[in-house]
Each structure stands twice: as structure tokens, then as C-alpha cells.
Amino acid sequence: MSQVRVRFAPSPTGPLHIGGVRTALYNYLFARKYNGTFILRIEDTDQVRYVEGAEEYIMEALKWCGIKVDEGIEEGGEYGPYRQSDKKDSYRKYADMLIDRGFAYYAFDTPEELEAMRLKAEKERKMFIYNAAVRESLKNSISLDDVEWNAMLDRGESYVVRFKMPPDEEISFDDLIRGNIVVNTNTLDDKVLFKSDGMPTYHLANIVDDHLMKITHVIRGEEWLPSFPLHVMLYKAFGWETPFFAHLPLILKPDGKGKLSKRDGDRMGFPVFPLYWPYGETARGFREDGYFPEAFVNMLVLLGWNPGTEQEIFSMEELINVFTIERVHKSGSRFDPEKAKWFNHQYLQKKSNNQLALEFREFLRAKGIHVDIVRLEILVGLVKERVSFVREFWDQTDFFFRPPEDYDSEAIRKRWQENTPVMLQELIDVIRGIPDFSPAPAEAAVREWIGKKGYNTGVVMNALRLVVVGALRGPHMFDITSWIGREETIRRIEKGISVIGKQQQ
Ligand code: GLU
């Protein structure tokens, strides 16, 4: 295989959907696997759809995911510019080349005229397709005589350049994922290649740049499958070598019915974009929702590809080794928000307590809580298994930082007995007398006292938990008391006796 060169070619029309990130990821993995080059090309020739901030968003999203661009706007490279609008004047000659060779023509139909024809066809329950069947009856350099259309050009009348799709041809081409595809050209239209605003359309700029940038494999979303025949024909018309093509399946809604959309995420409470989108209609992002980039990438790679084994957790390095286009699925993959959380949970477990403590410390700082990092490491270690996101540490540990403000009434009803205050009062004395208040010795001493007194362990321990935590939740009891310390434990028991005691009277 010649030196692999692949590209991710997004149009900056808004935040990058996770389907787009996955396209970038597969391209990146493929490039790395074959020691090839991964190119980021911004396709912004459609000025109407251009959205401010989208280009930066795309680049930041790739960086966050650990997808490293080899050639691009920031990285440079021999085949630039990598932003199509920066070379907009260079495409005209390719449109002319096709006109000269008889593969394209000028069309002067106004948008209003075309719309009228579309509506007329609709009324007759037909589809208006601008192609060989109707082109002779429309306003273009094929139907009009040469003098007439040349005069129109000279007068500066607005026109577009269209591809001259040949009629009645069965064209056959190969897709690395879907295999052989055959299409009859009668179903295709004379696509616009060059617009009246002097800009190439996506089709022309895309083919020209893939050729000039020596792209060997075009790996892109299946929404481009309908354009595939045209693209193959453009390569033929130019006399250029056609790259290999691979069209990736869609990422589907959780119920499998249709493409995953922002609306699904809004409705069901999950992000469909990698990063928060701050402009106009804002959108939540996986990053801001607390996903680790490695977990996000791992979740994403498996939406449309499988390794052929049971393995689910992959580092980027492993993915580069095992990824193959052959194992990309033909049909769409459902996005499963619970599975996404599961991946984050798995990656969180793999993080060191120190890493987690550092991240949790930031969260606490924002709340005005300052805790020593060593103590935080102990704390995250206690509840790590119960959380999937760093922010969830707070839900599991809030009572470590502040005494309970109220007590779970259901737990009081079930667990608080008449002699509970007496027992807890005694427990205070026991706690005062424990020489080493770390978890194991403290537990041993308390259990010894319970045994000696013949108390019920469950009754004592539930009451202790209730006054220390405020509810019957949290990690091991003596891990909590040791962390908050002897004095704080005693204070909470005293407060509990008095507050709950009063409530019970
Ligand atoms: N600019 C197109 C897009 O926005 C690129 C399609 C392709 O990769 O050919 O997805």
C-alpha cells in the first residue's frame, strides 16, 4: 500500500456531533496503524452555513480526545492551505477543466425557476431531478445555443456550473465496508460544482483537495454515501486515481430508531457533543459532564466497530494495534447512555487516588472547602467504587465535610430505640478512652464494649451512623469516624442525641 494519507474534513457549521468525532477517531487510528498521516481539513466553502467558533471547537475537541493531527491549520504541512476558504480562488480552474472536457456545463436557471419546477413536479407526485431527462428544456449551455449562453456570460448573468451526469449508465464501485455498490445514473442529478458566489461546492472542493493532498483512503459518515457515485465519476472525469472509500454507519438513538440527535440528548439527559457549545443554542458536552477523554474515546470506538473479542477496555495504543476497517459494522450502532457511564466508571477505578483527589480538590475549592491532599486521597479511596464521575464524590462524601443538618426520619422511626440515647452517651465515653482512633482499633474497642454490655450490634451501629451521617448510608462506619476525628465524632453524637431526642419527645 502506498503511504497512507487520510483526512477528517468537517464543515464548521456548529458543534461537532460525536458521530463526527468517531469519524476523526477511525481515520486517526487507521493512519497510526499504517504509519500514515492524519490530516485535518476544514471545509468551509459554504458561506451560508459557516458558524463562528466551530473551527476552534473542532480542533479543541480532537485535542481533548488525544487525536493528534499531523497536517492541518495549526500544524502546517506540505499540502496546505488546510482551510478551503484560504484557497477559494484555486478551485475555479478545476470547474473550467471539466467544462472544457465536456463533463460540466453552465446553468442559468434562477433559484425561483428551480423552485417552481420542484413544486410543479411535487403536485404531479414526481421528483424533480436536474439531469439528462430534463436538462434540454432548462436554461443552460447545453440547451441554449452557443451565441446565446456566451452572451449571457458576457452580460455577467448569474450562473452555476453543473456536472453533466451521463444517462443510462450502470456504475459500479467498491466500498471497504459495504462492498460493491451499483447505481444507475438516471437516479442521479447534475450536481452543482461551482456556485454563483464564486465558490466551489463541497463536491468539487472535496474531490480536488483529496486529490491534491494525495488522500489514499476516504473514511467518512454514511450520510455521504449518496454523493459517492458523483465523486467516483468526478475522479474519472478528471482522470485522477480514485482513493479507497469507507462509509461509516450511523450512531443511532438509544431506541435504535434513527440518527442520534441533540434533541435526544436534551430529552433524555445526556450530551451528544464532546465539549460544551457556548454559542447561540448552547449544548452540553461530555467533557463538562465529567467524562474522562479516555473513557469517551473508548466508548465511542465501540459504536460501530468491534475487536472480535470480549475485550472492552482499550487504550489508544491498543486501539491503534487492533483497529481494522474490516471490523467496522455495516449497520448503525445504538448509543447507550448507561454504557457511556459504565466506561467512565471503569476508567475512574483505574485512576490513582492521588489523581482523583487532585480533581476532587478542585471541585471542593469551588465550594470553598479546603482539605489536605493526603486526607482527600484516603477519602476518595473509601468511596471510589461507588462513583462514576469525580463530581459524584461529593454525593458520597458530603457528610465528611459538614455535620448532618437533619436526620432521615424513616431511619429514626425504624432504628431509634428508647435506650438509644443512653447507649450513645456511654459510647462517647468509650470513644474518649480509645488510645488509637484509627479504624481497626476503634472498631475493636467499640465491639468489645457492645459485647460486654450485651447490646445489639445493629442497634448501636445504626444509631451511630444516623447521628454521624444523618442517614443510613456511607462507607464503613469507622473509616468515617477516623477521618472526621474523635472530637468531631463526639460532637455529632452529642448533637444527634439532643436533636433526635427532642424530636422523639
Ligand atoms: N465536509 C464534509 C462534512 O462536513 C466532508 C465529507 C467527507 O468526508 O467527504 O462532513
- Distance CA(484)–CA(492), nearest Å, equals 10
Closest approach atom of ligand 1 to CA 10: 4
CB within 6 Å of ligand 1 — which residues? 9-11, 43, 202, 206, 220, 224
Query: What does the pLDDT read at residue 50?
Result: 87
Q: Rounded CA gap, 279 and 396, in Å?
A: 34
Q: Which helix (H) or strand (E) holds 172?
A: strand 170-175
**Which atom of ligand 1 sits closest to the CA of residue 13?**
4
**What pLDDT band is residue 502 in, cutting at 50, 70 and 90?**
confident
As given in the structure block, the three cell numbers for residue 485 are 476525628
Any idea which residues carry the catalytic annotation? 262
Q: How far apart are alpha carbons 483 and 480 in whole angstroms? A: 5
State the sign of the Cα–Cα–Cα–Cα dihedral 334, 338, 344, 349. Answer: negative
Cα(164)–Cα(477) distance, integer angstroms? 78
Cα distance between residue 406 and residue 11, in whole Å: 54
pLDDT in tens, 181-215: 999 999 999 999 999 889 999 999 999 999 999 99
Per-residue pLDDT tens for 399-428? 999 999 999 999 999 999 999 999 999 999
Distance CA 24, CA 7 (A): 8
pTM value is: 0.93
Pocket test for ligand 1, best of 211, 215, 220 (most atoms within 8 A of CB): 220
- The 10s digit of each residue's pLDDT in 38-51 is 999 999 998 888 89
Average pLDDT over all residues of the chain: 96
Report the pLDDT value the prediction gives residue 2, as an integer from 0 to 100: 76
282 C-alpha to center of ligand 1: Å?
23
Asked whether 472 and 462 are in contact (CB, 8 A), the reply is yes
Residue 59 backbone phi and psi in degrees, to 5: -65, -40
Percent of the chain beyond pLDDT 90?
97
DSSP string, 455-487: --HHHHHHHHHHHHHSSS-SS-HHHHHHHH-HH
Q: In angstroms, what is the span from residue 77 Cα to ligand 1's centroid? A: 20
Distance CA 501, CA 493 (A): 11
* 8 A C-beta contact, residue 54 and residue 12: yes
Please give, one letter per residue, the 3-state secondary structure of 220-273: EEHHHHHHHHHHHHHHHHHCCCCCEEEEECCEECCCCCCECCHHHHHHHCCCCE
Q: What is the DSSP string of 13-38?
A: SSSPPHHHHHHHHHHHHHHHHTT-EE
Cα 58 to ligand 1 centroid, rounded to whole Å? 13
Q: How far apart are CA 434 and CA 486, in angstroms?
A: 9
Q: Name all domains of the chain by residue range, CATH numbers in brackets.
A: 89-248 (3.90.800.10), 262-348 (1.10.1160.10), 351-397 (1.10.8), 403-504 (1.10.10.350)
The DSSP secondary-structure symbol of 184 reads E
The pick from 8, 11, 42, 199 for probing ligand 1's pocket by mutation, whose C-beta has the most ligand atoms within 8 angstroms, reads: 11
